[in-house]
Amino acid sequence: MRNIATRKLVIKLPPGRSAFLWGPRKTGKTYWLAHTFPRQVRIDLLQTDVFGEYAARPALLRERYAEHKGLIILDEIQMAPDLLNEVHWLIENRGISFLMTGSSARKLRRQHANLLGGRARRYTMHPLVYSETGGFDLEAVMQSGLLPPHFLSEDPVADLRSYVADYLREEIAAEARVQNIPAFAEFLRVAALTTGGLLNYTNVARESGVSAKVVRSYFQILEDTMLGFRLAPWGKARRRRLIETEKFYLFDVGVANYLARRAPREGTPEFGKSFEHFLLLELKAYQAYVNPELDLHYWRTSTGLEVDFVLGDMAAAVEVKAGRVHDGDLGGLKALREEFGVKRALVVSMERQRRKLQNDLEVLPWREFLAELWSGDLGV
């Protein structure tokens, strides 16, 4: 039976300070809160009776908790945006701390809700990372993904089917006021197929059957609801002409592969793309939990030389290879190091042992790469 170790997310709020905790549904926010803050007041707005009380009379929060000492947790705050005015008052006048969770700030912004003007810190919860799981079979995870209920499920495909149908196609479409749900569902499939590729609105629009303008709005919906993100190109050039188009990735490799109708097997091109996607999601989680100032980019020249990830200001460059590493795979890393003097040039691979190549290029097994990343030994 798979298990989950301690999550990497840490929230330590000094007295009187508050925070938002954002993250897509099923990332484990509620479970984490129950185990991290078991004795704190928790108001769960997904409970219909609790939601009904506070939606009808937001002032109840002030009336009940004006004399409270300590932290109050408001779970799924986007369900009752008017509560944020009461939260603001209690922070300013009573010094009460709040930890507010939600799956999207889009609804709050659309209703012009009070987002507290910098009075609350921002945290994000991601799907599981490797060190939180106790280990897994990589090929299996390409299909299940790393949302905790799917990772732990005996039938992850059935759970993914429900997640896509009930949450992505219906709830997200409703929250974003999408009129054409079938077109949005087809867009999700195309977005999954193109995950990790250069973002081309015209091509996605053609495949989805809607205009490029609508496709842009759909991508924005995915970003606002934390279901996807862009990876920007490294934009500093000295001698080479660079590609300046962003890439787009969905937030979970299992969701992406389910939408794209793929079950990647080791040794296939689909597995290689999913392997790269998985490692980027680890980097995004590390950025969120450990080093929010870390910049993540990719690098690609107009002649086709490419490096999958550039970390920080050339602190490390990472090329991902799902098969055995050959000298012909290293052209991008060599060119980037020659032009910018990258501190560490790494090939992260499925090989079992690390090795050093010419010009100090390093081949790292993916588990060792992740261990160095999370321990801080990677130098980023």
- What does the pLDDT look like over 249-297, one tens digit per residue? 999 999 999 999 999 999 999 999 999 999 999 999 999 999 999 999 9
Q: Which residue do the tokens 């053609």 mark?
A: 206
Q: Which two tokens stand for residue 310?
A: 């550039």
- DSSP codes of every residue in 257-294: HHHTT----TTSHHHHHHHHHHHHHHHHHHHHHT-TT-
Tens digits of per-residue pLDDT, 108-143?
Answer: 666 555 667 777 889 999 999 999 998 999 999 999
Ordered by start, the domain boundaries in the chain are 18-124, 130-375
Q: Give the separation between CA 248 and CA 191, rounded to whole angstroms.
A: 8
User: Helices marked H in the chain — which ranges?
Assistant: 29-36, 48-56, 60-65, 83-94, 106-110, 138-144, 148-152, 156-162, 173-175, 181-193, 201-208, 212-224, 253-259, 269-289, 331-340, 366-375
Say whether 135 sits in a helix, a strand or coil: coil
CATH of domain 18-124: 3.40.50.300
Q: Give the separation between CA 119 and CA 87, rounded to whole angstroms.
A: 10
Q: For residue 287, which phi and psi values (nearest 5 degrees)?
A: -60, -45
- The pLDDT score that the predictor gives to residue 1 is 43
Q: Which two tokens stand for residue 171?
A: 């709830």
Q: Give the separation between CA 126 and CA 251, rounded to whole angstroms.
A: 8
Task: Kindly list the strands in the beta sheet with 71-75, ordered across the sheet, starting from the edge strand earlier in the chain.
Answer: 41-44, 71-75, 97-102, 18-22, 120-124
| Bridge partners of residue 101, in order along the sequence | 21
228 contacts 234 by C-beta, under 8 angstroms: no
Average pLDDT over the chain, rounded to an integer: 90
Q: Give the separation between CA 375 and CA 28, rounded to whole angstroms.
A: 23
pLDDT of 239 above 70: no
Q: Which of 176-190, 205-219, 276-290 has the lowest mean pLDDT?
A: 176-190
347 contacts 279 by C-beta, under 8 angstroms: no
